[in-house]
Structure 1
């Protein structure tokens, strides 16, 4: 099943790799017998649906999650393998859509106002007064 990232970008099912294993955590006998944990991997570097600009943007934005050009997600939130597969597809779509989204506006540098500077210095003076009053008298 394909993953629709945006209206213009859909990741074909042929480019997705699935691995299944036993999930950890509570669940009793069910966890010990079913392979409900899902690993979804997508080779970003070799994908045919991405333009060069999209590929470089994804590789830059998700560099901490990509190993050897492959983006891998592990999902074991649900008890059912089918639900975990659906969750993994949604997460991959959201992750890629977030990486391809344009950057927000740049922060405009501002200076602190005179009032905020005065308030800062007043609270600083009060704090030093409190600490000065904690000292034993006559230790000047």
Structure 2
């Protein structure tokens, strides 16, 4: 089970994990071992709630394909297990950010008293500045 938060978790059967060869430096180790992890998670075929699926699919994230599959490649660590944990953590982070529903802004206006306070402050400040002027003006 991949736990996203207290209310949401995903069964690991829905997540496809493949070990592949990592790219980049590392010499003989990186050329002989398959330590990188290629994670695939099909959003549309998952057990997530429909509204959450829609929010994840609407995200402009380059890791989500047109078919609605999240593809994550983890190859930062030397061990396969550490890369597996990193890939699952990145998937959990992506889904946790999609869980957050932004609060819609309601337009408000300043009260009459707030407007009056602002005008009074401006008048008081202007009076202080007027006292700084030289007397021969």
Q: What does residue 11 of structure 1 align with?
A: 10
User: 1:62 Cα deviation (Å)?
Assistant: 4.7
CA deviation digits over 1:89-113, x for unaligned, max 9? 111101110111122665x8xxxxx
Query: For structure 2, which runs of at least 5 residues remain unmatched after alignment?
Result: 108-137
- Give the TM-score of the pair, scaled to structure 1: 0.69
3-state SS, counterpart of residue 54 of structure 2: helix
Regions of 4+ moved over 6 Å: none
> Which residue is 1:125 aligned to?
none
| Residues 27-66 of structure 1 mapped to structure 2, 5 A cutoff | 27-48=26-47, 50-62=48-60, 64-66=62-64
Identify the range of structure 1 (58-67 vs 7-16) with the bigger mean alpha-carbon deviation: 58-67
Q: Which residue of 1 aligns with 2:81?
A: 82
Once the two structures are TM-superposed, the CA of residue 8 in structure 1 deviates from its matched residue by 0.9
- State how far apart, in whole Å, the 2-side matches of 1:103 and 1:61 are: 13
- C-alpha separation between the residues in 2 aligned to 1:43 and 1:62? 16
CA separation of 1:99 and 1:47: change in aligned 2, threshold 3 A:
same
- RMSD across aligned C-alpha pairs, in angstroms? 1.9
Gaps of 5+ in 1: 109-140
| 3-state SS of 2:101 partner | coil
Quick one: structure 1 residues 61 and 77, their matched pair in 2 at CA, closer, same or farther if it must change by over 3 Å?
same
Closer/same/farther in 2, CA of residues 53 and 69 from structure 1, 3 Å limit = same
TM-score by length of 2: 0.71
Q: Tell which deviates more after alignment, 61-70 or 28-37.
A: 61-70
Flag the structure with larger Rg: 2
The structural deviation recorded for 1:66 is: 1.6
Deviation at residue 24 of structure 1 after TM alignment: 1.1
